[in-house]
Structure 1
């Protein structure tokens, strides 16, 4: 079952902080059976489409019309039958689909509270600003909370038939991303592959958490 909630956080930062604190306490209480995953990147990168698809909120035919996220949208769902260190594991995912609009930057402290994984998203139409934006998001949401590189993944979201791998190389990402998994995705032609990539990413987070514990 998938549940979704939305928050607009310009004037309601206090409310969001309270919600984030509640989610943080819940996650820590239930760990490792629940993960808080943040998805963020430049506006119009397709983050909501990706979140909807991997959570089975929509089918692929419905993933065409962009709807800019106002603040943050939280999607909750379960991943089943993950192989973590030789054991079959089910995990609840709390996916925070965050707006890339800097109008909501005052909400960032609440968004990253208790975060256990970060998905950075960019696309061909945001490529010109992607390098700078990815560096900014990585520093704030990965480095400052002291997450490991394995707890971050970069999705390059493509919608056309082109040499997408070459385009991702042309982003000129800094050395910061040398240890971060970078995956080219296409919802229209490689949706099944995306779900596998997401499951592998979640598995790597669980392995990292188990190792630290």
Structure 2
């Protein structure tokens, strides 16, 4: 699985926090890292809220998510290089001050980078992957990858690619999935089956399985 870095601009405002949390959850689900969604959302909330509270409402910023080796890396960029987040021991009844303490407790590591025109507050979460392109163990994914590896050798690739070790490239894999589905649909029709009904049943079964696993 290719997990390309992505980023999104935002304007510091309390309402933006919920939107960014939602975007992160969707991205991690697409990356097969659904088990990190809750923790990642909390980190995003704290880092973006720090910009809102300590830099100011209306400040332009950006959220970037990427893979750092086998860790998930979350970065929040803002233009104020003076207001640095700090780790403080907040009193039990304090209204604030717990943000970075929470990030520190939830993540493997975090820090602040000062650049010429901005600062970057970042944190990293362990994914449990064996490689940045790997996936958490899922029998369905394992079976599908084995099928794609075999099926890709049965038909000429429909687009150019640079093969990776032990896995067809993502581009070819996507085309192969289309080939597999097309051939199975034609097989169903050739045998008098209702292809639309089969697709609906498969979609329902997939959604149920994803729901049970927390995706």
TM-score by length of 2: 0.29
TM-score by length of 1: 0.30
| Larger RCO of the pair (alpha carbons < 8 Å, separation 6+) | 1
Q: If each structure's strand is expressed as a fraction of its own residues, which one has the higher value?
A: 1
